[in-house]
Amino acid sequence: MSSIRRPIALAAAVATAAAIAATAFVLPATAASGTGQAASAAQGAPATIPVLGGTLDWGVLESYRTYVTTIAQGQITVADGAKKTAKGFTFGSATGQYDPATHLVTAAFKGSVTFTSAAHHFEVKLANLRIDTGKKLLLIDVTRDGVLTKDVGFAKVAFAGQSMADLGTTLTADAAKLLGSDGYKDKAGDPLTAVLEFPPPPSHSPSPSASASASASPSKSPSPTASASASATASPSKPASPSPSASTGSPATGGPQQILGGKLAWGIKESFRKYVQGAGGTITPTGGAVASGDSFAFGGGKGTLDTKARKLNATFAGNLRFQYAAHGIDMTFGNVRINAEGGKGTLILDVKTAAGTKANIPFATLDLSKAEYKTKNGVLTLNSVRTALTAEGSAAFANDTTGSMYPVGTRADDVNLTVSVDKDAVLPTTPAGTGGTGGTGTTGGGGTVGGGLAATGSEIPAGALLGSSAAIVAAGAGAVFVARRRRTAQN
C-alpha cells in the first residue's frame, strides 16, 4: 500500500487516526506527537513530509456561478483535470508538503475553471489553486480577458483545529477586482474542503502503538470523536438515551409529541430577493410572516415531533409576496411546511401567481445530516439547515424565454427553526440567524421590504445586472416569470 488517505488534523495524536479516518484526516504518525522537528530527526523521519495526492473541493461563490449562467447568459467550463460537482468544483492531483516542526501545510492542485460571458464581455480563468495554512490563504493564478495575474491571494481560509472540511472562505479585494465587482470584497465564499494523502507511517517504533490504537479505536470512535464529522451515522443511535430526559411530552414511552408553537426564519432565495428589490420591486410579508433582520420569520408553528424516531412535521403561518411590475413578477410563497426524517427533509410550500395557486410544491430539499433531534427545556432548535431547489422549486422561477434562472440543485437560503413541545417552554424572539445568506436591504416591522441594489452589497454586480436587464428588455424578452407568461397566454 503506497499511501493512506487521511484528512489533515494539525497536531493530532496517533490514536485519533482510526477514530476520524472516515471524514477528518490526520497528519502522518511521525508528526502527530507534536514534538516537532527534533523528535522527527530522532526517529529518522524527514524534515518535511510530502503530499502524495489529494483533492480540493470549492465552488468559488455560488451567487457568482448563478450570475454567470443566468443574468450574464454565460457558461462555466472546467479543464486540466478539474470536475464540476453539485456544489462547485473538484481539483485533484495534489502535491506539496507538511512541516512537522511548524505543523503547516502547503499544497497545490491541478485543474482550472473558466467563467465566460459573451453578453457581458468577460472571461475569467482560475488555475493552479494552492493552499497555505500558514498564510491562511487560497492562492490562484487568474487570467482575466487574456491577462494573467499569478499568485493572487484570492480567498482567506479559516484553517484552524483538526479538520479541513467545510472551511469558511472570504474573498479578498484582489479577487473582487478580478471577478469584476468591488461588491465581492470580504464576501463569504463557498466552503472549502481539502483531502490530502501522505506516506504510510514508518514500520519501526511508532507502528505498534499506532496499530494498537487503531484496533481499539473503531468501536469507541463514534461517541468521543465523531460528534461533528460523523453525526449522520452517530445520531440515530444517540437519541435513545437523551430522549427521555430531553423529550417533555412523553418521556417514558417516546413517540410523537404535539408542537405547541414554533418559528421559522427563511428568505426563499437571497439573489432572487435582491433581483426583485434591485429595480424598485417589493417583498411584502403578511399573514404571520414578518421581516427579521435581512430576511423573514414565519410564526404559528404546529405539527408533531418524534425525537426518538427523528421525525419532524411542522407547518408555519405567513406569506411572502414578491412584486416587480416592470418584469411582470407577482408571486406569493406561503403555507410553508417542513417534513423531516433522519438526515433528510423537504421544504414544501404553495406558490400563487395571477394564473392561480400551485399547492404542496416540494420546493427544496433539506440537509439534516448533522441534525440532532433533541429538545432542551421543551424546545427543539435546528439552525443553518442547508437547502437546495428541487425540480419543482426550480420550475417556480421559470419563464418562456430563458427557462428557470435557478437550475435544479441550486442552493436556496438556509433554514433556522425552533419548535416547542412543552406548554411552559419559551421560544426565542426569532430563531438564531435569519435564514438568509446575506444582506438584502432595509427591513422594518411586518411591512413591505424594499431597497436599492447598490446599497445592499448585492452578490450580482450591479452594473452587470442593470446592463443585462436593459439589453433583455430592449430585445423584448424581459425577465418574464410565471405570472406574465400565464397572463399572456390568457390574453
Residue-level pLDDT at 345 = 95
Query: Considering the entire predicted model, what is its pTM?
Result: 0.42
Q: What is the CA radius of gyration of the chain?
A: 25
Task: Report pLDDT digits (tens) over 301-327.
Answer: 999 999 999 999 999 999 999 998 877
Triad 107, 54, 224: Cα angle to 5°: 100
Residue range(s) defining the domain that contains residue 126: 4-198
* Residue partners of 271: CB distance under 8 A and separation at least 6: 63, 66, 67, 459, 460
Q: Is 253 exposed, middle or buried (0-12, 13-18, 19+ CB in 10 A)?
A: exposed
Q: Are residues 192 and 317 in the same domain?
A: no
| pLDDT exceeds cutoff 70 at 453 | no
Q: How many domains does the chain have?
A: 2
| pLDDT exceeds cutoff 80 at 422 | yes
Residue-level pLDDT at 208 = 37
User: Is 352 inside a domain boundary?
Assistant: yes
- pLDDT category at 164 given cuts 50, 70, 90 is confident
Task: Report pLDDT digits (tens) over 39-68.
Answer: 444 445 457 889 888 999 999 999 999 999
Residue-level pLDDT at 439 = 34
Residue-level pLDDT at 162 = 59
- Report how far apart, in Å, the C-alpha atoms of 145 and of each of 116, 126, 313, 489 are: 9, 12, 51, 42
User: Is 464 inside a domain boundary?
Assistant: yes
Q: Are residues 113 and 192 in the same domain?
A: yes
Q: Are residues 182 and 311 in the same domain?
A: no
User: Is 157 inside a domain boundary?
Assistant: yes
Q: Are residues 119 and 44 in the same domain?
A: yes
User: Is 243 inside a domain boundary?
Assistant: no
Beta bridge partners of residue 36, listed in sequence order: none
| pLDDT exceeds cutoff 80 at 479 | no
| pLDDT exceeds cutoff 60 at 34 | no
Q: Are residues 295 and 433 in the same domain?
A: yes
Task: Report pLDDT digits (tens) over 183-232.
Answer: 899 999 999 999 888 776 554 444 333 333 333 333 333 333 333 333 33
From 198, 219, 238, the end of a domain falls on 198
Q: What is the distance between the alpha carbons of residues 100 and 325, in angstroms, rounded to a whole number?
A: 62
Residue-level pLDDT at 67 = 92
CB atoms within 10 A of CB 360: 11
Q: Which of 88, 136, 131, 124 has its CA nearest to residue 109?
A: 131
| pLDDT exceeds cutoff 90 at 438 | no
Q: What is the distance between the alpha carbons of residues 321 and 329, in angstroms, rounded to a whole number?
A: 10
Sort residue 232 into left (φ over 0), alpha (ψ -120 to 50) or beta. Answer: alpha
Cell of 334: 406561503
